[in-house]
């Protein structure tokens, strides 16, 4: 309780004003996220972010990976709410950008201190706080605790952005309405369905067919080529992310609200195991095209093959034809191997939709990923 009392100012002689984060309806915002542990690093980052056109600076204090916590950053900052708030106050006082903070409920079930942390951050001048409804020690197997997130949102005046297990626009709207949060955030949902924001914005489902998804993935390839370069070197850099991204992209299933709305209120869809096909949406494995079966395949070799095909294709039609061919030649075999190998349930994928091989398995099986991406790395944030 002592941490809850604010007898001492966070910054000497200062009363910290909270900058406002204003988002016009229907418009998107662009922000930078950093992890830091000193005021000076935060201020330098804020200047760089401002120069690059960011509208806000977010400080990641939810990241549980060792790389961050061993340096006292990420979720390690939740251990000392006063020190965290001092840092945020110091950055917010100098930053031209509003400063937001991303946190978790606490370090573990026994150390849930989200209320204290939010109280301090509010006082420190944070423009908003994103609360991921899990502790740093939890994996993704348990559902995010939205009751707790809602309690936090209702008992503090700083805008709260709720986070955890959102995969569809109807889950997003239900969480927003029930929790009293100012906004909600999607994490893995955006990796599985990069078009998820369009769904949120338009308040309707976008059930993309094979061809449309190939178009989206090719757009991603075009951004990677633009960013990393359309040559062997660029490709090598893109390969740190692209085959790996299929661990998420292959989890896409059409989940119309009419069929899944009620189910999603019982248990988050992102944590609900989905089979290859769902007869309720009129699908059978035999009825799927080879390309569609490939796009749902959990085998890491399939992910590598899809990345190759999409990178090399000269048009969407060309890519689709390549996926159809690869699927017809190899997907049955890959599916069998996945079945025989069991589902190893990489925690970051959530134990739900099409859980299967994660980065570690891919490396074991000799797929070139650029560098090791173990389970922990997949569990950032």
Ligand X SMILES: Cc1cc2nc3c(=O)[nH]c(=O)nc-3n(C[C@H](O)[C@H](O)[C@H](O)COP(=O)(O)O)c2cc1C
User: Shortest Cβ distance from residue 328 to ligand X (Å)?
Assistant: 31
Alpha-carbon distance of 201 to 260, in angstroms, equals: 20
If you ran DSSP here, which 8-state letter would residue 381 be given? -
Question: What residues make contact with ligand X under the rule CB under 6 A?
Answer: 33, 60, 62, 102, 132, 144, 163-166, 186-189, 348, 378, 380-381
Alpha-carbon distance of 121 to 142, in angstroms, equals: 27
Q: CB within 8 A of 117, min separation 6: which ones?
A: 78, 81, 84, 103, 106
If you ran DSSP here, which 8-state letter would residue 200 be given? H
The nearer residue to ligand X, 158 or 353, going by C-beta atoms, is: 353
The string of DSSP letters for 272-332 reads S---S--GGGT--TTTS-HHHHHHT---HHHHHHHHHHHHH-SSHHHHHHHHHHHHHHHHH
The nearer residue to ligand X, 194 or 327, going by C-beta atoms, is: 194
Are 135 and 112 in contact by the 8 Å Cβ rule? The answer is yes
Alpha-carbon distance of 374 to 358, in angstroms, equals: 8
User: Shortest Cβ distance from residue 34 to ligand X (Å)?
Assistant: 10
User: Shortest Cβ distance from residue 340 to ligand X (Å)?
Assistant: 27
User: Shortest Cβ distance from residue 344 to ligand X (Å)?
Assistant: 16
Report which of 135, 142, 115, 343 is spatially closest to residue 250, judged by C-alpha positions: 343
Alpha-carbon distance of 311 to 291, in angstroms, equals: 16
**Angle of CA points 32, 34, 35, to nearest 5°:** 165
- Which single residue is written with the structure tokens 């959990």? 298
The nearer residue to ligand X, 161 or 326, going by C-beta atoms, is: 161
Alpha-carbon distance of 170 to 163, in angstroms, equals: 15
**Angle of CA points 342, 348, 349, to nearest 5°:** 55
User: Shortest Cβ distance from residue 132 to ligand X (Å)?
Assistant: 4
User: Shortest Cβ distance from residue 189 to ligand X (Å)?
Assistant: 5
The nearer residue to ligand X, 196 or 320, going by C-beta atoms, is: 196
The nearer residue to ligand X, 33 or 328, going by C-beta atoms, is: 33
Are 136 and 104 in contact by the 8 Å Cβ rule? The answer is yes
Alpha-carbon distance of 270 to 289, in angstroms, equals: 24
The nearer residue to ligand X, 1 or 52, going by C-beta atoms, is: 52
The nearer residue to ligand X, 188 or 296, going by C-beta atoms, is: 188
The nearer residue to ligand X, 90 or 189, going by C-beta atoms, is: 189
**Whether 63 is catalytic:** yes
Catalytic member of 36, 61, 63, 297: 63
C-beta nearest to ligand X: residue: 381
Are 259 and 156 in contact by the 8 Å Cβ rule? The answer is no
Report which of 347, 248, 258 is spatially closest to residue 295, judged by C-alpha positions: 248
Residues with a known catalytic role: 63
């Amino acid at each position: 309780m002592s941490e809850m009392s604010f007898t001492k100012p966070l910054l000497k002689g200062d009363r910290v004003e909270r900058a406002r984060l204003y988002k016009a309806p229907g418009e998107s915002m662009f922000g930078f996220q950093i992890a830091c542990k000193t005021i000076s690093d935060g201020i330098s980052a804020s200047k760089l972010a401002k120069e690059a056109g960011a509208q806000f600076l977010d400080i990641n204090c939810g990241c549980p990976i060792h790389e961050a916590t061993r340096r006292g950053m990420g979720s390690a900052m939740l251990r000392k709410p006063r020190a965290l708030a001092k840092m945020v106050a110091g950055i917010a006082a100098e930053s031209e950008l509003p400063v937001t903070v991303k946190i978790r409920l606490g370090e573990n079930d026994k150390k849930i201190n989200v209320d204290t942390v939010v109280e301090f951050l509010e006082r420190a001048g944070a423009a908003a706080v994103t609360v991921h409804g899990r502790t740093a020690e939890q994996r993704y197997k348990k559902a995010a605790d939205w009751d707790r997130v809602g309690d936090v949102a209702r008992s503090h005046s700083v805008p709260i952005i709720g986070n955890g297990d959102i995969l569809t626009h109807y889950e997003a709207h239900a969480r927003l309405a029930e929790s009293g949060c100012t906004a909600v955030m999607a994490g893995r949902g955006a990796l599985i369905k990069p078009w998820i924001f369009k769904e949120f914005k338009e308040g309707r489902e976008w059930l993309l067919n094979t061809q449309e998804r190939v178009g989206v993935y090719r757009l991603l390839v075009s951004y990677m080529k633009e960013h990393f370069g359309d040559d062997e070197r660029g490709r090598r850099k893109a390969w740190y992310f692209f085959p790996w991204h299929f661990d998420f992209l292959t989890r896409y299933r059409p989940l119309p609200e009419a069929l899944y709305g009620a189910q999603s209120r019982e248990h988050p869809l992102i944590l609900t195991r989905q089979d290859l096909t769902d007869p309720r949406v009129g699908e059978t494995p035999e009825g799927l095209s080879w390309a569609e079966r490939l796009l749902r395949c959990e085998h890491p070799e399939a992910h590598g093959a899809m990345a190759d095909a999409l990178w090399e294709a000269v048009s969407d039609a060309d890519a689709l034809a390549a996926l159809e061919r690869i699927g017809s030649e190899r997907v049955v075999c890959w599916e069998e191997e996945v079945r025989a190998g069991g589902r190893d349930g990489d925690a970051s994928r959530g134990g739900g939709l099409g859980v299967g091989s994660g980065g570690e398995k891919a490396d074991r099986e000799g797929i070139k990923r650029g560098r090791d991406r173990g389970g922990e790395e997949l569990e950032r944030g």
